[in-house]
């Protein structure tokens, strides 16, 4: 029999340390009933085997989720050092911009004290919409997952917090709204950034990344070798420039020959947080712009192209998609173009009979009866 293992007449097994009597507290613990049977060697052996199986199946006592001294600031700073070494500069800047708000609020908080309520308050303080909340929480979870991977933490303290569902980008701009936005922008730098999105249909982050290496004026394109969907498409993202976009690119290249050509008024590259705040301020100033964000220009570009009769496959190619599914799921907002739909309905029915012919009157001015037919 195993040392310290005892089995009573009913086949109930328990274990104690050899030579040490059980404490009063241990005496009152409920014993685990493994098998039923008389107190003989055969049943004791069966009880031993069952106990070993039970002990093997039990998970070891979990350790603390984090050392008591580890604070949120330590995790986030460590993750950002990792990001700076292993991610694209734009990705690192995005993580840095997103996480600094949470670090400002809860950087001194011990990781063991981190709760769902802290994430909720962060969202409230930041004024994030559901889409921004989804992305921000994803960045925060990634930071703590990194700490788990590096074995600084045993588990992610916010792994259970669910991401809000992102909003569908169904907002498009009218001509009047475009004019309102441009006239409301005071500085030329942000006006140029908006023009870059308007003329190309690019993602805001793509416009912010354009530099001399990406520009190919001879072909009239922006050539992104590294981009959002490169792992899926396995080919560069080519943005075809209209004449006005080419002139804009030339002017900005002359101003900023090194690094990103789209800069803010301080000469710094645009960040996701920077243009997010700009559009938030525009919405506050003009309530009629509710729902307008930087990505609205991409949705409007796609919808306007479809309205102009450009084939959906061509529009998808201009947006950098490999198929038309994404276009129709997110960017085809022709349902909001009422005038366009009325015109389409008229074209669709112009050669069709309007309906049943009205009853013909007889000579007496009455509808024909059975005897007249």
Pick from 142, 136, 131, 144: which is nearest to 119 by CA? 136
Instruction: Out of 39-48, 57-66, 251-260, 284-293, pick the least confident.
Output: 57-66
DSSP β-bridge partners for residue 237: 224
**DSSP-derived secondary structure for 167-188:** PP------HHHHHHHHHH--SH
Which residues are CB-neighbours of 76 under 8 A, at least 6 positions away?
Answer: 99, 102, 103, 107, 143
Mean pLDDT calculated for residue range 2-13: 39
Q: Three-state SS for 221?
A: strand
Instruction: Out of 74-78, 282-286, 336-340, pick the least confident.
Output: 336-340
- For residue 370, name the pLDDT band (cuts at 50, 70, 90): very low
pLDDT digits (tens, 9 = 90+) for 182-204: 999 999 999 999 999 999 999 99
Mean pLDDT calculated for residue range 98-115: 95
Fill in the DSSP letter of residue 110.
B
Question: Distances from the Cα of 87 to the Cαs of 4, 146, 239, in angstroms?
Answer: 55, 13, 23
**CA–CA dist 223, 235 (Å, integer):** 10
Longest dimension (CA), the chain: 124
Which residues are CB-neighbours of 337 under 8 A, at least 6 positions away?
Answer: 303, 307
Tokens of 41: 């060697």
Q: Write down the mean pLDDT value for the chain.
A: 79
Per DSSP bridges, beta strands 32-33 and 12-15 are antiparallel
Taking the CA atoms of 181, 182, 187 and 190 in sequence, report the sign of the dihedral they define.
positive
Mean pLDDT calculated for residue range 211-238: 80
Residue 345: how many other CB atoms lie within 10 Å: 10
Q: What does the pLDDT read at residue 77?
A: 95
Q: What does the pLDDT read at residue 139?
A: 96
Mean pLDDT calculated for residue range 206-218: 94
Say whether pLDDT at 132 is over 60: yes
- For residue 171, name the pLDDT band (cuts at 50, 70, 90): confident
CATH topology classification for 175-334? hpI Integrase; Chain A (1.10.443)
Instruction: Out of 111-120, 243-252, 292-301, 364-373, pick the least confident.
Output: 364-373
Q: What does the pLDDT read at residue 248?
A: 97
Say whether pLDDT at 45 is over 80: no
Q: What does the pLDDT read at residue 213?
A: 93
Q: What does the pLDDT read at residue 23?
A: 46
310-313 contacts: CB < 8 A, separation 24 or more? none
Q: Which one is predicted more confidently, 344 or 29?
A: 344
Residue 233: how many other CB atoms lie within 10 Å: 13
Most confident of 46-50, 62-66, 257-261: 257-261
Say whether pLDDT at 140 is over 70: yes
Say whether pLDDT at 312 is over 60: yes
* Angle CA 89–95–97, to nearest 5: 100
**CA–CA dist 254, 261 (Å, integer):** 9
Say whether pLDDT at 28 is over 70: no
Tokens of 284: 């506050």
- The pTM (predicted TM-score) of the whole model is 0.57
**CA–CA dist 147, 152 (Å, integer):** 5
**CA–CA dist 4, 28 (Å, integer):** 18
Say whether pLDDT at 29 is over 70: no
- 3-state helix, strand and coil shares in percent for the chain, rounded to the nearest 5: 55, 5, 40
Most confident of 144-158, 318-332, 340-354: 144-158
- For residue 27, name the pLDDT band (cuts at 50, 70, 90): very low
Distance of CA 15 to the CA centre of its chain: 52
Residue indicated by tokens 């690119």: 249
Q: What does the pLDDT read at residue 79?
A: 97
Q: Which one is predicted more confidently, 15 or 60?
A: 60
Mean pLDDT calculated for residue range 235-264: 94
């Amino acid at each position: 029999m195993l040392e310290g293992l005892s089995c009573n007449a009913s086949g109930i097994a328990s274990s104690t340390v050899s030579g040490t009597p059980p404490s009063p507290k241990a005496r009152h613990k409920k014993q685990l009933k493994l098998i039923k049977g008389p107190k003989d060697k055969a049943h004791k052996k069966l009880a031993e085997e069952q106990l070993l199986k039970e002990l093997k199946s039990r998970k070891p006592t979990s350790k603390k989720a984090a050392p008591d001294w580890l604070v949120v600031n330590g995790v986030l700073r460590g993750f950002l050092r990792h990001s700076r070494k292993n991610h694209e500069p734009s990705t690192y800047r995005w993580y840095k911009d997103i996480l600094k708000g949470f670090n400002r609020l809860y950087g001194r908080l011990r990781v063991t004290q981190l709760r769902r309520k802290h994430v909720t308050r962060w969202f409230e303080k930041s004024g994030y919409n559901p889409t921004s909340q989804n992305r921000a929480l994803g960045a925060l979870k990634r930071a703590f997952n990194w700490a788990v991977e590096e074995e600084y933490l045993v588990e992610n303290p916010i792994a259970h917090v669910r991401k809000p569902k992102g909003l569908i980008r169904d907002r498009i701009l009218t001509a009047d709204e475009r004019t309102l936005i441009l006239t409301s922008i005071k500085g030329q730098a942000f006006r140029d950034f908006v023009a870059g999105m308007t003329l190309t249909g690019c993602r805001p982050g793509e416009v912010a990344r354009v530099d001399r290496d990406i520009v190919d004026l001879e072909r009239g394109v922006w050539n992104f070798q590294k981009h959002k969907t490169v792992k899926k498409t396995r080919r560069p993202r080519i943005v075809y420039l209209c004449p006005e976009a080419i002139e804009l690119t030339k002017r900005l290249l002359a101003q900023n020959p090194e690094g990103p050509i789209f800069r803010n008024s301080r000469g710094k590259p645009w960040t996701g947080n920077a243009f997010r705040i700009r559009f938030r301020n525009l919405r506050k100033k003009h309530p009629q712009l509710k729902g307008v964000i930087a990505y609205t220009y991409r949705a409007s570009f796609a919808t306007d192209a479809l309205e102009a009769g450009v084939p959906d496959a061509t529009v998808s190619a201009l947006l950098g998609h490999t198929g038309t599914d994404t276009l129709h799921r997110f960017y085809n907002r022709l349902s909001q173009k009422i005038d366009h739909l009325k015109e389409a309905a008229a074209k669709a029915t112009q050669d069709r009979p309007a309906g049943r012919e009205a009853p013909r009157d007889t000579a007496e001015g009455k509808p024909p009866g059975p005897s007249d037919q």
